[in-house]
Amino acid sequence: MSNENGMGPGQIVKVLIGIVVFLVVAITLLAKLATSGFNVDAEVMTNESVAARLKPVGDSVAADAPPGSRTGEQVFQAVCITCHGNGLLGSPKFGDAAAWGPRIAKGFATLVQHALSGFNAMPARGGNATLTDSEVARAVAYMANAGGAKFAAPQADASGASATSASAPAAAAAALDPNVVGKKIYESVCVACHQAGVSGAPKFGDKAAWAVRLKPGLDEVQKIATKGLNAMPPKGGYSGSDAEFRAAIEYMVNNSK
Ligand code: HEC
Ligand code: HEC
């Protein structure tokens, strides 16, 4: 009679066993979840996963956003995160104020210059040549600010005349000696066409040819040459920073006056 509506002692024991079994299963599952979480971290450092993480370097970034317009965060997410996301190769890790402190102390211009030209295991432009100077600068500001800095990121790109004078790369340009940096680039890249005047290139040392080119001013000439002009490829095919390219132009121009 008593077993018809309520539970007898046998059923209570069964329910208790059920609860215990459920708890054991749940705890086992949770434990598995936690350990597999750690396994993912451990796998991060295997050769294959490191290679896979390095792979996107050099691929095009945020294809939907036109070059020059990408924000610091977009550039970080697409390129820099490969190493700076977890401190790969000894890079200062994103958000790690202790790691970024001594970097930030170098000043924004130096950090941007190092990010543009490369610095030890840090590849130039994080290994992605499609990044413009101001995009790299914005990514530097984004990362450094997450590590405790208060850098103002350059907004407009160098293709807009407004940004060139204010941005850090332009400030760094002043420090690049045309007779050292510019000469080296000229002799390795520009010489191919500008030495002999291939395809109508203004010849090195040809005052008359250069005087015509220089009428709109050096900044304008740099803009034209950066974009490319007929047989002149963008930046003359040079893949380094705008500041370095400027030094190469100045080297040619200074020797053609
Ligand atoms: C392939 C790995 C890798 C990628 C990708 C990478 N970095 Fe780095 N980065 C490093 C390493 C390693 C260092 C530390 C170099 C050192 O101090 O010897 C570093 C250091 C830096 C520094 C500090 C330089 C200094 O003077 O202390 C800046 C700034 C920086 N990276 C910016 C960037 C930006 C911006 C990007 C993305 C556009 C990027 N990095 C992508 C590896 C990388
Ligand atoms: C493949 C050949 C080639 C290479 C390499 C090359 N140039 Fe040129 N460059 C030209 C040609 C051709 C012109 C003239 C284009 C025209 O007016 O149609 C030119 C024009 C220029 C001009 C004048 C732009 C203007 O406003 O009229 C500058 C500045 C310049 N180049 C800089 C450089 C620099 C700096 C390098 C090396 C980093 C370089 N070029 C490499 C072919 C080249």
pLDDT, averaged in runs of 10, over the chain (257 residues): 57 64 57 47 48 47 70 94 92 96 94 94 92 93 95 65 38 62 86 88 93 90 92 86 88 91
Nearest residue (CA) to ligand 1, atom 36? 80
In Å, how far are 72, 96, 159 from 162, measured between CA atoms? Answer: 19, 33, 9
Which ligand 2 atom is at minimum distance from the Cα of 213?
27
Q: How far is the CA of 124 from the centre of ligand 1 (A)?
A: 8
Per-residue pLDDT at 237:
85
Per-residue pLDDT at 169:
45
Cross-strand pairs, 205:
none
Cross-strand pairs, 229:
232
Per-residue pLDDT at 167:
42
Of 184, 224, 226, 232, best ligand 2 pocket probe by most atoms within 8 Å of the beta carbon: 232
d(CA 115, CA 109): 10
Residue type, 52: A
Encoded tokens for 121 = 């295991």
Q: Indicate the SS3 state at residue 45.
A: coil
pLDDT digits (tens, 9 = 90+) for 120-131: 999 999 999 999
Per-residue pLDDT at 230:
87
pLDDT digits (tens, 9 = 90+) for 17-73: 566 656 655 655 555 545 444 444 444 445 545 544 554 444 445 556 777 889 999
d(CA 138, CA 96): 18
Per-residue pLDDT at 42:
44
Of 91, 96, 131, 142, best ligand 1 pocket probe by most atoms within 8 Å of the beta carbon: 91
Which ligand 2 atom is at minimum distance from the Cα of 251?
35
Nearest residue (CA) to ligand 1, atom 14? 91
Helix 108-117 to helix 133-146 angle, to the nearest 10 degrees?
120
Q: Give residue limits of the domains in the chain.
A: 9-35, 72-171, 176-254
Q: Give the closest residue to 151 by CA, choosing from 197, 105, 91.
A: 105
- Please check whether residue 117 is in contact with residue 242, taking contact to mean a CB–CB distance below 8 angstroms: no
Per-residue pLDDT at 94:
96
Nearest residue (CA) to ligand 2, atom 33? 236
Q: Indicate the SS3 state at residue 140.
A: helix
**Is CATH 1.10.760.10 the right assignment for the domain spanning 176-254?**
yes
CATH superfamily, domain at 72-171? Cytochrome c-like domain (1.10.760.10)
Per-residue pLDDT at 35:
47
- Please check whether residue 182 is in contact with residue 249, taking contact to mean a CB–CB distance below 8 angstroms: yes
- Please check whether residue 137 is in contact with residue 71, taking contact to mean a CB–CB distance below 8 angstroms: no
Per-residue pLDDT at 138:
94
Per-residue pLDDT at 13:
64
Q: How far is the CA of 245 from the centre of ligand 1 (A)?
A: 22
**Angle at CA 246, nearest 5°, toward 184 and 92?**
85
